[in-house]
Amino acid sequence: MFSRRCVWVNGPVIVGAGPSGLAVAAGLREQGVPYVILERAACIASLWQNRTYDRLKLHLPKQFCQLPNYPFPDHYPEYPSKKQFVDYLESYTAHHDIRPHFNESVDSAKYDEACRLWRVRTTGPDGEVEYICQWLVVATGENADPVVPDVEGLVSFGGEVVHACDYKSGDRFKGKKVLVVGCGNSGMEVSLDLCNHGARPAMVVRNAVHVLPREMFGKSTFELAMMMMKWLPLWLVDKLLLFFTWMILGSTESLGLKRPDIGPLALKNYGRTPVLDIGALEKIRSKEIQLVPGIQRFSCASVELTSGEQLDIDAVVLATGYRSNVPYWLHETEFFGKNGFPKTPFPHGWKGKSGLYAAGFTRRGLSGLSADAIKISQDIAGVWKDDLKQKKQKVPTHRRCISTF
């Protein structure tokens, strides 16, 4: 019990040094509030740096993806590449003098009712540490851990099985028959990348999916939707988007991609994002990407589909998404649900009770996390500055709590 080092933090502890955590840290730095930011990986934005494919670009124009008060460089293209976005985040981190504690994994975080403080226990290069703080910012994001489905026979499949988080390029799959499980943005882009590298992908399509063009009439689809929503109700914007999509892309249902009954923007409220097409539909039309139904079971060198068809394959790419890891370490059930997301829907899901905050769980990408970061940093700074101004020193109480270890 005496091997754990205790550290008092005169400000919040931020868990996660991805875009969300960095944006909160920058906002606090600008207002003079001290903080500690913890990151389990060896770098900032580990999802972007270590668990994304090489061809990845931002799906939205850069002006909708910038962090607060820090625009992208003028020479960046409208849709920055993965490397450019990582470079932007590195520059952002240096500009705001953000210094995360790398390779420090949070084992547990719990609110101590007796002391009215958070206890955050970690394991890192310096061994076990317990941070004591008044505020806790959860910024581990929506995509902390990959989801691997439990499919009959997958463990006995003789070919290569890789999750999209470990997929980098289709180069090593040249000439191979690859089953891509999932038809979201990742599944579509991986399938397209496999085609471009001479592989023969078959993409599993189990559910209805909205596929929209990335741009409409010279503007990004997202920008056009935001403009229309200033004047029109959501249901009408959805109908217009689908009509424009039909004009540009034609019928996707004729290709085997059934559309959901709910419109693409309304569906985002349920955590499902429409696919922005960057070339995969053309490959589907030309049969270079084969669409197949759900999976029944795998065998050594093939897969049996729900249609009864047997498909010979050489490899499997699981584009099955990610999940929040918050339930594994945060001992709190009032603000966060079992799925690791705040129970309160956007735009009010950024603040809980007892100094608990959530950044980057809006299901609205980089623009949503920026809005969270601004509100969180301003809220904490307001309380922190009031405490200083009124000279309400609570240090003796804190010391009595810490001395009980």
Residue 399 has pLDDT above 80, yes or no: no
Looking at residue 396, its pLDDT comes to 53
Is the pLDDT reported for residue 393 higher than 70?
no
Residue with tokens 């028959």: 177
Task: Give the percent of the chain with pLDDT over 90.
Answer: 87
Report CA-CA distances (Å) from 98 to 22, 35, 87, 90, 261: 7, 10, 15, 10, 45
Helix axes 221-229, 234-249, angle to 10 degrees: 150
- Digit-coded pLDDT (tens) for 76-105: 999 999 999 999 999 999 999 999 999 999
Query: Residue 367: its pLDDT value, please?
Result: 83
The number of residues in the chain equals 405
pLDDT tens across 176-185, in order? 999 999 999 9
| Strand arrangement of the beta sheet that strand 177-181 belongs to | 160-163, 315-318, 177-181, 200-204, 290-292
Phi then psi for 48, rounded to 5 degrees?
A: -70, -40
Judged by phi (left if over 0) then psi (alpha if -120 to 50, else beta), residue 135 lies in beta
Residue 112 pLDDT exceeds 80: yes
**Is residue 207 over pLDDT 80?**
yes
Nearest to 207 by CA among 296, 278, 269, 294: 294
pLDDT at 109 over 70: yes
Residue 270 reports pLDDT greater than 80: no
Reported as a single tens digit per residue, the pLDDT across 291-325 is 999 999 999 999 999 999 999 999 999 999 999 99
Sign of CA dihedral 373, 378, 379, 384: positive
Residue of higher predicted confidence among 204 and 399: 204
**Mean pLDDT rounded to a whole number for the chain:** 92
**8-30 average pLDDT score:** 97
